[in-house]
Structure 1
Amino acid sequence: MPGYSKGLQEIGDGLFAWLQPDGGWGWSNAGLIVDGRPGDGAAALVDTLFDTALTAEMLAGMERATGFGASTIGQVVNTHANGDHTHGNHLLHGAEIIASEASAREMEAFSPKLLAQLKAASAAGQLGIAGTYFAEVFAPFDFAGVEERPPTRTFCGHDHLIVGSKAAELIEVGPAHTAGDVLVHVPQGRAVFTGDILFIEGTPIMWAGPVLNWIAACERIIAMDVDVIVPGHGPLTDKAGVREVADYLAYIRDEARARHAAGLSAEAAARDIGLGRYASWKDAERIAVNVDTLYREFNNNPTPPDAIRLFGLMGQIYYDRR
């Protein structure tokens, strides 16, 4: 695998990954699929970045390397609804924006305007420890300059993307990390862009579940005939890296289930579970969200997560451990 450094890496014939170390909160990856040159070719982007400046930097880098930039990329696939994969959509004025129907609905509910408001409230000390933690992890990003550009084409289950002579499969595997996660598989390039189904060297965060869907998505990637796997966060990986993510999810599920059966609260369980070999992964405090989601699953509770409360709990765990 190529080294993990910021910027554009070619991963195959006409396939590129834009990587953003260290892969923690907000530092997401994106992809580019190219066929030919501008004027007689085509290009599609897999995900945009968390704010306007980061996305503009990425598009300029892609244009320098490939000739395709903001005005010549014809399609964008958003792998899921989170802003670090969608907030740059507005810079691609003429592009078709593609996402799952579930992701499109989720984007409506958690807008860049809301993130900007939360960041301002955090800076003003209005959200307690949740705000302190939120402000710290999202300090590098400017949500105020982001304009919403929602999907212009949606699908359920499966769809196809044609980029010149290249074909890509769009495979909905959510709900898992979020409500509508999508894999972008390029068979000709023996590559797959996974969005946040994969966090490599970082702790996965399960906002939606069920956990079995996420594990099944990992198994699906492992079964693919691919050489290069581009995660939503972290360095390029291989099938062993995918297996690590699946093993983490299964481990947390089993540990949470045992504590649920013993009558512990979700918060107590999150603090009690030993992370073992996963303790060195970035953002380990995300276990608070993962256990909360698992408990709601165990209880057949359809209530959506309370993000502010969970940011507060992650903050407590983070500052206690630090």
Structure 2
Amino acid sequence: MSLRQISAHVHVETAHLGSNNSIVVGTEGLALVDTPHRPTDAMAWRKTVDGFGTTRFVVNTDHHPDHTIGNFWQGGEVVSHRGTRERLLHEAPSHDYLAGLFARIDPEAVALLDTYRVRVPTVVFSDALDLHLADVHLELSFQPGHTANSLIAYVPEDGVVFTGDIVCEAGLPSFQDSRLWDWFDAIEEVASYDFDVLVPGHGEVADRGVLERYRDWGREVVGQVADAIGRGVDREQASAEIRFPDNIHVDTEDYVGYPDDLIEMFQRRSIERIYEDLRERPDLAAR
């Protein structure tokens, strides 16, 4: 664990497999931003969090398992965009999928699956919502980007913005749930905030400079797909040949990552998504 205090009210853990996990500490309780992917990390995280006080809110920045599985082991009300609730209600990972995944990334958690359930948000919003903890608050704003139901969380008292996977310092996440125009627009929206510290979905806590680096990584892969389309390469061939570095799902010195077949699926679906969006909107290659 490498929990770090990044501002007067915010503590961030960046060492978990999956999303970064944050604690916002107010005089009237805590708000968490995203929860651990591995159940054993989630249970340990609960003990850490309880040391700061009582959790009132758990904010999910999107519906993906690496942001939401740990909801089950946390206190408080789960809060999200309404689209995240719908995705978790109707498209949550199956028992068999989780059993196979946990067998690789968290073997001790396989035995927990009989009691685990998907904990869906009970507080949802369409456009914006404020969560108040007395001396500090979070401003939640709907912002499609990494997914159609992504959100941005902002602590104005500290100048801290939480982007979820709208921006990642570690590298590019999957594009499979994105639309390319939203992907670029969301980065511009983050840039419009008055912040000193950016907590990305994955990777180290950063400053405003991460936005241009992240935008450039996206431009690079979009440019490769646009070039393939220009040369008459079909979608299937492009998705078989074009790859971008995956620094999010792979093994590291600290943890075992996803199996190769899942990483390959994410890559293929990402390139297919970009290909389809560029066929619809060729102008996006110039973003």
Query: What is the TM-score with the length of structure 1 in the denominator?
Result: 0.73
Matched, 1:42 2:42: no
**What does the per-residue CA deviation read over 1:65-99, in whole Å, with 9 as the maximum and x for residues that have no partner?**
x2x2xxx2011111100111111222234x22111
Aligned to 1:99: 80
Assess, with a 3 A threshold, how the Cα gap between structure 1 residues 85 and 141 changes in structure 2: closer, same or farther: farther
Is residue 213 of structure 1 aligned with residue 193 of structure 2?
Answer: no
Aligned residues: CA RMSD: 2.6
Q: How many residues align?
A: 264
Q: Is 1:7–1:61's contact at 8 Å kept on the other side of the alignment?
A: no
Q: Does 1:18 pair with 2:42?
A: no
How far the C-alpha of 1:45 sits from its partner, in A, is 0.9
> Structure 1 residue 197 and structure 2 residue 166: aligned?
yes
Mapped to 2, the partners of 1:92 and 1:118 lie a distance apart of 22
Structure 2 segments unaligned to the other structure (5+ residues): 251-262, 281-287
Q: In the alignment, what sits opposite 1:83?
A: 65
- When residues 212 and 141 of structure 1 are mapped into structure 2, their CA distance, relative to the original with a 3 A threshold, is farther
Segment of structure 1 superposing worse, 233-242 or 266-275: 266-275
Correspondence for 1:168 among 120, 129, 138 = 138
Q: With the length of structure 2 as denominator, give the TM-score of the two structures.
A: 0.81
| Cα deviation, residue 140, structure 1 | 5.7
Distance 2:108 2:182 in 1: 31
Kindly indicate whether the alpha-carbon contact (under 8 Å) linking 1:8 and 1:62 is maintained by their aligned counterparts in 2: no
Q: After TM superposition, give the deviation of residue 281 of structure 1 in Å.
A: 4.6
Distance 1:247 1:75, change over 3 A: same
Instruction: Tell me how far apart the structure 2 counterparts of residues 259 and 153 of structure 1 sit (CA, whole Å).
Output: 44
Q: Percent identity, please.
A: 24
Of 99, 117, 128 in structure 2, the residue corresponding to residue 158 of structure 1 is 128
Q: Is the 8 A contact 2:172 2:218 kept in 1?
A: no
- How far, CA to CA, are the matches of 1:264 and 1:11 in structure 2? 46
Aligned mates of 2:103, 2:216 — CA distance in 1: 29
1 CA distance for matches of 2:237 and 2:209? 31
CA distance in structure 2 between the aligned counterparts of 1:281 and 1:182, rounded to whole angstroms: 22
TM-superposed deviation, 1:119: 4.8
1:78 counterpart letter in structure 2: N
- What residue identity is the alignment partner of 1:252? V
Structure 2 residue aligned with 1:33, among 24, 27, 44?
A: 24
- 1-side partners of 2:203 and 2:70: how far apart? 19
Letter in 2 for 1:57: A
Question: Of residues 228, 233, 237 in structure 2, which corresponds to 1:259?
Answer: 228
3-state SS of 2:168 partner? coil
